[in-house]
């Protein structure tokens, strides 16, 4: 049997996309000009699928800090922190992040994916149960695969379903660890934190919140959903990434748990991979400072998100349930989603195409991510192009007829 026989159905979906003239998973840019513009085949394309929420990738302070550190401390660390030591940039970032959350512990990982993998697989032992939301990110599912714990999946955002599943575990003596996300990456809806915290407390469980898509985005100070709902102290561990609002690459975990630092000597995805280059840490530190000191970025992001969401809703598209910077546009079929993605790309706009099995309920989506760096005319242009493409290929008419 071929080594890839197992993945034949996924390969078939990918081949089908390519047969329709679209290759959304392998777009190669000729150049990248700014947080919202890249070049493909000599034409400028507006980027609206890169989760660059605050548009900090080209921020002069972020880039400047990275350049300074690159010159001062070199291109890479050539190994992990347990083997090669901690650079001043790692330590400073961790101190400032912990201070920002008002928590004693902050720990940096080399990517957000590794943060989920490392935290979940380490805290959940063989006698424990990880209870994960059905719409969890791939890194959470893979963490479950790495963990020796029992894995229970509950219905998306349903505290009631979680409660029922915890009831069934009544006699179980190990820890119960609930995992939710701040904003879910496919439909852009918030985690039902208040309701889930009530269930967590009822059953004496722990709660981990992955804030990849909401750090820097939600809450008065940008601390994410935990801040927005006033429950900073209710999450036992908060996970995040540098690769979205912070505009760099990396992951983190912050916690109030007294012995959290034990993670540094047991968490293998932290211990046995190279630490982030100091220049990345310096850039992320400058971006963190921007989140703390420039609330106007967040205000602009939300103005842009509401503007685009309202425009698309008015045009008749079926959108995700909440107005957030992730705007999911549901298309009536896989074929129409692929065709609409291609038409939009040809018109000069890049968004994400998401199909089953990556989507909840197997629906077909175009996923748009809005940035504070988008100009209103870019978003207006995107809404018009999407409406034009979806009208000409019948996607919008099919959708309206189904109403």
Give the dihedral of Cα atoms 235, 131, 272, 87; nearest 10 deg: -10
Q: What is the C-alpha to C-alpha distance for residues 308 and 316, in angstroms, rounded to an integer?
A: 13
Among 2, 258, 357, 403, binds another protein (CB under 8 A): 357
- Contacts (Cβ under 8 Å, ≥6 apart) of 359: 186, 365
Q: Is 169 in the site for another protein (CB under 8 A)?
A: yes
Q: What is the C-alpha to C-alpha distance for residues 387 and 363, in angstroms, rounded to an integer?
A: 19
For another protein, give the closer residue by CB, 200 or 374.
Answer: 200
Q: What is the C-alpha to C-alpha distance for residues 193 and 216, in angstroms, rounded to an integer?
A: 17
Footprint (CB under 8 A) of another protein, residues 248-277: none
Q: Is 244 in the site for another protein (CB under 8 A)?
A: no
Spatial CA neighbour of 327 closest among 345, 337, 312, 339: 312
For another protein, give the closer residue by CB, 123 or 286.
Answer: 123
Closest separation in Å from C-beta 186 to another protein: 11
Q: Which stretch binds another protein (CB under 8 A): 98-106, 175-183, 288-296, 353-361?
A: 353-361
Closest separation in Å from C-beta 120 to another protein: 13
For another protein, give the closer residue by CB, 130 or 386.
Answer: 130
Annotate 206-227 with DSSP letters as a single string. Answer: EEEEE-TTTTTTSSTTS--HHH
Closest separation in Å from C-beta 363 to another protein: 11
For another protein, give the closer residue by CB, 32 or 146.
Answer: 146
Helix, strand, or coil (residue 132): strand
The interface mask with another protein, positions 94-133, x = CB under 8 A, is -----------------------------------x----
For another protein, give the closer residue by CB, 360 or 394.
Answer: 360
For another protein, give the closer residue by CB, 174 or 394.
Answer: 174
The tokens 């928590």 sit on which residue?
A: 103
For another protein, give the closer residue by CB, 154 or 260.
Answer: 154
Q: Is 362 in the site for another protein (CB under 8 A)?
A: yes
Closest separation in Å from C-beta 48 to another protein: 26
Closest separation in Å from C-beta 107 to another protein: 26
- Contacts (Cβ under 8 Å, ≥6 apart) of 67: 279
For another protein, give the closer residue by CB, 158 or 398.
Answer: 158
Alpha helices in 246-294, H assignment, sequence order: 263-266, 268-271, 278-293
Q: Maximum distance among all alpha carbons in the chain?
A: 64
The interface mask with another protein, positions 129-168, x = CB under 8 A, is x----x---------xx---xxxxx-x--------xx--x
Q: Is 221 in the site for another protein (CB under 8 A)?
A: no
Q: Which residues pair with 178 in a beta bridge?
A: 131, 207
Q: Residues 84, 86, 87, CA angle at the centre, nearest 5°?
A: 110
What's the Cα-to-Cα distance from 112 to each of 83, 269, 358, rounded to whole Å?
21, 11, 18
Q: In what order do the strands lie in the sheet with 318-319?
A: 318-319, 326-331, 364-369, 352-354
Residue 276 Cα to chain centre, angstroms: 19
Closest separation in Å from C-beta 146 to another protein: 11
For another protein, give the closer residue by CB, 116 or 378.
Answer: 116
Q: Is 397 in the site for another protein (CB under 8 A)?
A: no
Footprint (CB under 8 A) of another protein, residues 3-62: 9
For another protein, give the closer residue by CB, 21 or 362.
Answer: 362
Residues in binding contact with another protein, number by CB under 8 A: 19
Burial class (CB in 10 A: 0-12, 13-18, 19+), 138: exposed
Using CB under 8 A as the criterion, which residues of the chain lie in contact with another protein when the complex forms? 9, 129, 134, 144-145, 149-153, 155, 164-165, 168-169, 356-357, 361-362
């Amino acid at each position: 049997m071929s080594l890839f026989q197992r993945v034949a159905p996924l390969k078939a979906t990918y081949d089908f996309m390519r047969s329709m003239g679209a290759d959304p998973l392998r777009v190669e840019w000729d150049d990248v000009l700014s947080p919202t513009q890249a070049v493909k085949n000599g034409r400028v394309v507006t980027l609206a699928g890169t989760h660059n929420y605050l548009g900090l990738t080209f921020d002069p302070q972020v880039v400047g800090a990275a350049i300074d550190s690159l010159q001062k401390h070199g291109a890479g660390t050539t190994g992990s922190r347990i083997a090669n030591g901690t650079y001043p940039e790692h330590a400073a970032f961790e101190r400032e992040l912990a201070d920002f959350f008002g928590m004693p512990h902050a720990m940096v990982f080399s990517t957000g994916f590794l943060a989920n993998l490392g935290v979940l697989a380490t805290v959940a032992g063989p006698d424990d149960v990880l209870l994960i939301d059905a719409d969890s990110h791939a890194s959470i599912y893979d963490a479950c695969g790495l963990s020796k714990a029992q894995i229970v999946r509950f219905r998306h955002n349903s505290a009631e379903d979680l409660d029922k599943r915890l009831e069934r575990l009544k006699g179980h003596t190990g820890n119960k660890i609930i995992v939710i996300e701040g904003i879910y990456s496919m439909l852009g809806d918030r985690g039902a934190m208040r309701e889930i915290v009530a269930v967590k407390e009822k059953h004496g469980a722990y709660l981990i919140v992955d804030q990849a898509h909401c750090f820097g985005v939600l809450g008065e100070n940008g601390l994410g959903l935990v801040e927005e709902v006033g429950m900073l102290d209710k999450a036992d561990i908060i996970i995040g990434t540098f690769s979205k609002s912070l505009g760099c690459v990396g992951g983190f975990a912050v916690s109030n748990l007294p012995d959290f630092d034990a993670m540094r000597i047991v968490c293998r995805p932290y211990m046995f991979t190279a630490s982030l280059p100091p220049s990345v840490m310096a850039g992320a530190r400058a971006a963190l400072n921007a989140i703390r000191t420039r609330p106007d970025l967040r205000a602009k992001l939300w103005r842009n998100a509401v503007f685009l969401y309202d425009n698309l809703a008015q045009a008749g598209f079926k959108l995700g349930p909440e107005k957030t910077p992730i705007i999911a546009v549901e298309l009536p079929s896989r074929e129409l989603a692929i065709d609409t993605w291609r038409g939009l790309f040809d018109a000069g706009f890049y968004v994400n195409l998401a199909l089953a099995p990556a989507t909840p309920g197997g629906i077909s989506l175009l996923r748009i991510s809005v940035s504070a760096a988008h100009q209103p005319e870019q978003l207006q242009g995107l809404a018009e192009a999407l409406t034009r493409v979806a009208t000409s290929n019948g996607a919008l008419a099919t959708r309206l007829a189904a109403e």
